[in-house]
Amino acid sequence: MSTIAYDYMEEFIRSLIKGNNEKLEALEKYARNNSVPIIHEEVGRFLELMIDIRKPLKILELGTAIGYSAILMASVSKGSFHIDTIERDPEMIKQAKENIESFGFKENIDILEGDCLEILEKLNEKYDLIFMDAGKGHYNHFLPHCLRLLNKEGIIVADNVLFRGMVASDKLIKRRKITIVKRMREFLNMVSEDDFITSVIPMGDGVAVIKRRFENE
Ligand code: SAM
């Protein structure tokens, strides 16, 4: 049972999503059948929409898993786009490499192997879109780096920001998850400052869309 949106609402919204890429659907099915944690269907559609509207040429993803969301983003990107995606799990990296190659995106998607924070510290590229989907308990630590790496008009899309509803309600918090919840709340407070335009959407496990606010322009 979802603690974020009503089940009947999620089911209805998902029933409206028509897949248009059979191979990608097969990869999605593989992930769901093998308990690989990938984005919810409606979050995938939302990412597609963001990419179609913003047309990012450089994308950074935190959390590759088997490459599903990176391949989805590549499939809907246009022009000379490039995606860097960070993953630390060797088995995930192996499968992601195979999937990326089989979808023909070897030249467009680079897996940066290692821990998100360590890699973020070393990166110096600029990105038009950053998709945060790894290390929920560290989004607050990742944020300063993501802001440094974000182009002026770039956007951050962060998944899992309501973390099974626990971030919004103390009643739902499991004791083992207190630190993650505290840090996620800190992250959401940081991006809710006046310097940002942030929208938190109760979709999937909670999605935040974040953009810097520029006054007098
Ligand atoms: N974005 C993927 C998709 O939708 O297809 C799913 C990513 S999954 C939710 C999160 C992934 O991030 C896992 O494969 C996990 O191994 C990886 N991960 C978690 N914490 C990480 C960290 N601190 N550094 C690098 N990878 C991490």
User: What CATH number is attached to the domain comprising 169?
Assistant: 3.40.50.150
Structural domain includes residue 41: yes
Residue 110 · residue 86 · CB < 8 Å: no
Assign 169 a pLDDT band (cuts: 50, 70, 90): very high
d(CA 27, CA 62): 19
In the chain, how many domains are there?
1
Q: Mind spelling out the 3-state secondary structure of 104-131? A: CCCCCEEEEECCHHHHHHHCCCCEEEEE
d(CA 168, CA 196): 20
CA 216 to ligand 1 centroid distance, Å: 38
* Domain around 27: 7-212
Structural domain includes residue 202: yes
Structural domain includes residue 1: no
**Ligand 1 atom at minimum distance from 89 CA:** 16
Structural domain includes residue 217: no
Q: How far is CA 31 from CA 4, 24, 45, 49, in A?
A: 22, 11, 17, 22
CA 123 to ligand 1 centroid distance, Å: 18
Residue 40 · residue 203 · CB < 8 Å: yes
Structural domain includes residue 2: no
Residue 146 · residue 59 · CB < 8 Å: no
For the stretch 15-59, pLDDT in tens is 999 877 999 999 999 999 999 999 999 999 999 999 999 999 999
d(CA 76, CA 78): 7
Structural domain includes residue 50: yes
Structural domain includes residue 166: yes
d(CA 168, CA 181): 9
User: Which residues does ligand 1 sit against, CB inside 6 Å?
Assistant: 37-39, 63, 65, 68-69, 86-89, 92, 115-116, 133-135
- Confidence (pLDDT) at 25: 95
Q: How far is CA 8 from CA 14, 32, 166, in A?
A: 10, 20, 20
Structural domain includes residue 99: yes
Nearest CA to ligand 1 atom 17: 63
Ranges 20-24, 73-77, 81-85, 131-135: which has the least confidence: 20-24
Strand partners, 2: none
For the stretch 101-150, pLDDT in tens is 999 999 999 999 999 999 999 999 999 999 999 999 999 999 999 999 99
Predicted TM-score (pTM) of the model is 0.97
